[in-house]
Structure 1
Amino acid sequence: MTTTTPDIQPAVQYTAQVTILGAGPVGLMMANYLGQMGVEVLLIEKLDQLIDYPRAIGIDDEALRAMQSVGLVDKVLPHTTPWHAMRFLTPKGRCFADIQPMTDEFGWSRRNAFIQPQVDGVLFDGLKRFPNVRWLFSREVEAFSQQENQLTLNIRGPQGEHETVQCDWLVACDGGASFVRRTLNIPFEGKTAPNQWIVIDIANDPISTPHIYMCCDPVRPYVSAALPHGVRRFEFMVMPGETEAQLSEPDNMRRLLSKVLPDPDRVELIRQRVYTHNARLAERFRVDRILLAGDAAHIMPVWQGQGYNSGMRDAFNLAWKLALVVNGKAGDKLLDTYQQERRDHARAMIDLSVTAGHVLAPPKRWQGALRDGLSWLLNYIPPVKRYFLEMRFKPMPRYSAGALVTENETKNSAVGRMFIQPKVTLESGDVVLLDDAIGAGFAVIAWGCNPLWGLSADQIARWRTAGTRFIQVVPEVQIHVSQDNHDGVIRVGDTQGRLKAWFAERPTSIAVLRPDRFVAATAIPQTLGNAMDSLSLAMTLTATGADTPVEKVA
């Protein structure tokens, strides 16, 4: 894979509107979204190429929806296995928790296995669509400074040469050991797990049973996971006194694999690595013109596969806000809502991952015995069983403050939650997922009514400038006849009846969606104008792309 940009000429100084540090999945997603929004991006990576060894193995529906937003999901899906179940086993092999999430409310399977290097490759290749996105590999940032209106980065090139970058914004996606975070002296509070784990990836899967199994063996817990392209991953806890070098010796490797394979000598080893599991959270995600994302902002144990997916949530939340600010459509106070919305949920995912690790490997043996006894009983109580099967224990992002309007909202309001993504029928007759009709920007989605009716001409112009589409949803049987059409409104048919059901549960008929598909406001036609003005104020939206934020209408 090439890692140089043909149109970048050797130079001492580079310029960009946004510099992204780190070509991992979070940096690549950020670069793709900003690229399609016309932002000038420079992506800087310390390594000479993308990391080629498997790391994360679980990708969820929210991350796939982010891939969809940048037009790459169809190229990502071949590197995934949908509907990937997670099963916790006792030492004797009894399944005491069978998590088979079968919901697709956001348009995709809730839990999927995947091969990260291939998906990272898709994201990197996606950058080649945008002439405004450039990349530099084999560059290490040695220092940086912030001025009032820009940043300067001092970097060392592949031959040791000194180069500089001047940019308006810096997004640090440079991992758990983030140079940027450490230089800014941002506390990174949390704990490091006392035990390490050795990860072994094998080609031509010698077991080939589907799904992922987590065996809660008190002697040596292990994980067995089926991955796409015939890859099997095993993970074993490293016991006190063992080292990576010792475990990598043929006899010790054979001893480990004999726990899970009848013939540990007949394997095609891809690689093995020892990992330490950390649970840490940065105190701040923003310092003036610098923002932290992904592992630079939070790291968590792997047991729920949420490290990768939490990073994708960061990217999806931050990218659209940064694009609005850079393009002069919103004030930079909008960026304060990134930490406001993301930090608490990142903490919740860390806590979930730590809890799952304690289920797999309890700190004390008696806790394992208690777990096995309770699990046997609880698995036969239908509400508890559904709780696991539907993955309700996973904390879904719910924003109570930020770039949204919570006035007059009830406890069970949809505001701050991700909107559903069912299939819809276009007037052309094509059936697509809802986001494909919305596009990459905002959407005002109205059930049955004209979404423009409650807005003034100035409001419509302002929101169109921000990249808003106005959607009217009608029963699927009505979409095949031209009727009730309104200029500037996209009509879609409710193919599966899910949109009607969603609105029927609420007292409002209009939902305002942000580019990351979270509900920013709800209204009825008569209150939509006030809701949109309040949202403009919350996002410091500019009237016509100028520098002056909108004033709230009395």
Structure 2
Amino acid sequence: MTTTSLDTDVLVIGAGPVGLITANLIGIRGHRATVLEARTGLIDYPRGVGLDDESIRTLVAADLWHAVEQFTVPNHVSRMVNGEGQVLATNDPQTTEFGFPRKHGFNQPVIDAELARGLDRFEGTELRFGHRVVGIEDNGDHVEVTAERVDETGTVTGTVTLTARYVVGCEGGSSFTRKQMGVEFEGKSPSTRWVVVDVEDDPLGTPNVYLGADPKRPYVSIGLPQGVRRWEFMLHDDEPTELVDDREFMNGLLSGMVPDPASLSIINQRTFTHHGRIASTFRKGNVFIAGDAAHLMPVWLGQGWNSGMRDATNLAWKLTAVLSGQAEDALLDTYTTERHKHASDMIDVNMAAGTVMKMKPFGGWVRDRLASALNLVPTWKSYFTELRFKPMPRYAAGVVVDQVTLTPGRAEATFKGGRLQPYVDSPGELSPVGLQFIQPRVNTADTTDALLDDVTGHWWVLATWGTNPTTYLTADDLAFCARHGITLVSFIPETQREWAEKKYAGSPAPVTVVGDTSGALKRWFDVRACGAIILRPDHFVAAATFNQQVSAALAAVRKAGALR
């Protein structure tokens, strides 16, 4: 339980998007968070530009999507083109399996501002600018954080020490927190430099993304919300960084993009280097790191911002579960276990994409012809179009239960020999455990055409297909569900919903009957060897099992999650 004498429950270092969303997720679940930011205000120049559907689920959980949506462009299409403008690959996924279009464009500063405003909703939660952290001391049952107060001139005006149960460092790639933890930051930092330039009143007006794999000079052109156009150009080794301050040089770069580069109104211009690095662990005692403090990846697939959102989503529910007394501290060890591998995989994919972008003339010639051949094969073409090369998060260890053996803490991806048990009649051979659950639109007694998360909530869910979820639960199971706020759900064909609502009205615990209006839920269960699932607060499948085994699966989830 939280020690009442502490200044805050969770102290977050860094007011970037990861730190802000972490604090919001802590606050919306009833705990205190304090955010310390060394700057005297939010960063006001554009950085991240790509928002995934997974991140939108997080924003919805924080009750912030309604404020953020207006600053996004859904269905952001990316095309990789060569030096002649030939399209090598198109990335335009049409799926909405998680409730929203897979890709959105956005302007980060305005969204960061909404995340910061969101903290005003929570009593005991605050954002302090001009606080540069200079000391972190983990005392076992609490952490002391010392910060220098810094004014707008950079002058130190004093120091302050705050105490918290946990600290989360979200202050970027040069993270003071990570250095204090003493963990390795493994990987590569290629020497290639890029200049990014953002202009207002988009002179092109084309709404999507072009990745220019031009051997002469690779570039990126991105249409963003609010009429902003972004370009990124690779600098050659013999071009000093200082050249980008010369408007004539910049006009030369832009001359191949627009008819009149001299008339452009530049609102932001920076030089950066891509990195591919990851910390060896994301936790040490009561101190954690998330976002760029934990991993850095190139920008090609727009996954830096979204990977940070995944970190915050994973860590925040676990911190709040421990703070509320629902789980033991051991639950927090699963944060690194679950997030490290996927972050590492995303770095590898982004580094590979960068290699494809920056090929020399001969390599580019081979690449272009290979791409032309692959585009003739529908399966390979859809591999790029539907973004299937991007690894989806799957937790093979952590708060998961193996579907075959019900072993807590681990989950195999497949069924050996394609069968779970002799009585399995599902055509599926893959286990859904460790994967994010779908989010179709559904009906209930109280709402029509709602997204699933809106009716099941953002905490634990135990759901069955076509039956009453209480049938095979014991009295102790039901007491455990009530104690942990586990929502009991029956997924049912919409044609049977009213019947089920009447029949389940006398259940030993409340049951939310969800009408499957589109058949998406039925199809999901149809190809997976299970009739019952247990969903975690982050909407990942912790366990999938037959109805008669649901009590045993619940006990295994309890052990895997160190739940009390």
Please report the TM-score for the alignment, with normalisation by the length of structure 2.
0.92
Residue 262 (structure 1) aligned with residue 259 (structure 2): yes
Letter of the 2:503 partner, please give it.
D
- Matched residue SS, 1:193: coil
- Matched residue SS, 1:404: strand
Counterpart for residue 540 of structure 1: 562
Counterpart for residue 343 of structure 2: 346
- Matched residue SS, 1:302: coil
The Cα shift of 1:480 comes to: 4.7
Does structure 2 conserve the Cα–Cα contact (< 8 Å) formed by 1:113 and 1:227? yes
Counterpart for residue 538 of structure 2: 516
Question: Structure 2 residue aligned with 1:68, among 60, 82, 89?
Answer: 60
Letter of the 2:471 partner, please give it.
W
Residue 297 (structure 1) aligned with residue 294 (structure 2): yes
Counterpart for residue 177 of structure 1: 174
Counterpart for residue 387 of structure 1: 383
Question: Structure 1 residue aligned with 2:521, among 485, 499, 507?
Answer: 499
The Cα shift of 1:370 comes to: 0.7
- Matched residue SS, 1:479: helix
| Match runs of 1:301-380 below 5 Å | 301-362=298-359, 364-380=360-376
CA distance in 1, matches of 2:485, 2:291: 26
Question: Structure 2 residue aligned with 1:112, among 104, 111, 123?
Answer: 104
| Match runs of 1:22-421 below 5 Å | 22-158=14-150, 159-362=156-359, 364-408=360-404, 411=414, 412-421=430-439
- Matched residue SS, 1:485: helix
CA distance in 1, matches of 2:219, 2:338: 35
Question: Structure 1 residue aligned with 2:440, among 422, 425, 428?
Answer: 422
Off by >3 Å, runs of 4+ in structure 1 = none
**Aligned-pair Cα RMSD in Å:** 1.4
The Cα shift of 1:62 comes to: 0.6
CA distance in 2, matches of 1:251, 1:42: 45
Letter of the 1:270 partner, please give it.
I
- Matched residue SS, 1:483: helix
Tell me the alpha carbon deviations over residues 30-65 of structure 1, each in whole angstroms, 9 at most, x when there is no partner.
Answer: 111110111121111111111111001001111111
Choose 474-483 or 95-104, whichever is displaced more.
474-483
CA distance in 2, matches of 1:495, 1:123: 33
CA distance in 2, matches of 1:282, 1:208: 40
Residue 435 (structure 1) aligned with residue 431 (structure 2): no
Please report the TM-score for the alignment, with normalisation by the length of structure 1.
0.93
- Matched residue SS, 2:380: helix
CA distance in 2, matches of 1:427, 1:14: 43
- Matched residue SS, 2:262: coil
The Cα shift of 1:524 comes to: 2.2
The Cα shift of 1:14 comes to: 7.3
CA distance in 2, matches of 1:136, 1:410: 44
The Cα shift of 1:407 comes to: 4.6
- Matched residue SS, 2:350: helix
Counterpart for residue 545 of structure 1: none
CA distance in 1, matches of 2:302, 2:11: 28
The Cα shift of 1:484 comes to: 2.4
Gaps of 5+ in 1: 1-12, 543-554
CA distance in 1, matches of 2:138, 2:356: 45
CA distance in 2, matches of 1:256, 1:143: 44
Tell me the alpha carbon deviations over residues 369-419 of structure 1, each in whole angstroms, 9 at most, x when there is no partner.
Answer: 110111111111111011111111000011111011115166110000000
The Cα shift of 1:365 comes to: 3.0
Gaps of 5+ in 2: 151-155, 405-411, 415-429
CA distance in 1, matches of 2:247, 2:171: 34
Does structure 1 conserve the Cα–Cα contact (< 8 Å) formed by 2:403 and 2:431? no
Counterpart for residue 502 of structure 2: 483
Residue 458 (structure 1) aligned with residue 498 (structure 2): no
The Cα shift of 1:343 comes to: 0.3
Letter of the 2:401 partner, please give it.
V
Does structure 1 conserve the Cα–Cα contact (< 8 Å) formed by 2:116 and 2:127? no
Residue 444 (structure 1) aligned with residue 462 (structure 2): yes
Q: How many residues align?
A: 529
CA distance in 2, matches of 1:68, 1:341: 22
CA distance in 2, matches of 1:496, 1:243: 58
- Matched residue SS, 2:89: strand
Residue 20 (structure 1) aligned with residue 17 (structure 2): no
Tell me the alpha carbon deviations over residues 288-325 of structure 1, each in whole angstroms, 9 at most, x when there is no partner.
Answer: 11011111110000001011100000000110011001
The Cα shift of 1:352 comes to: 0.6
The Cα shift of 1:429 comes to: 4.3
Q: Give % identity.
A: 41
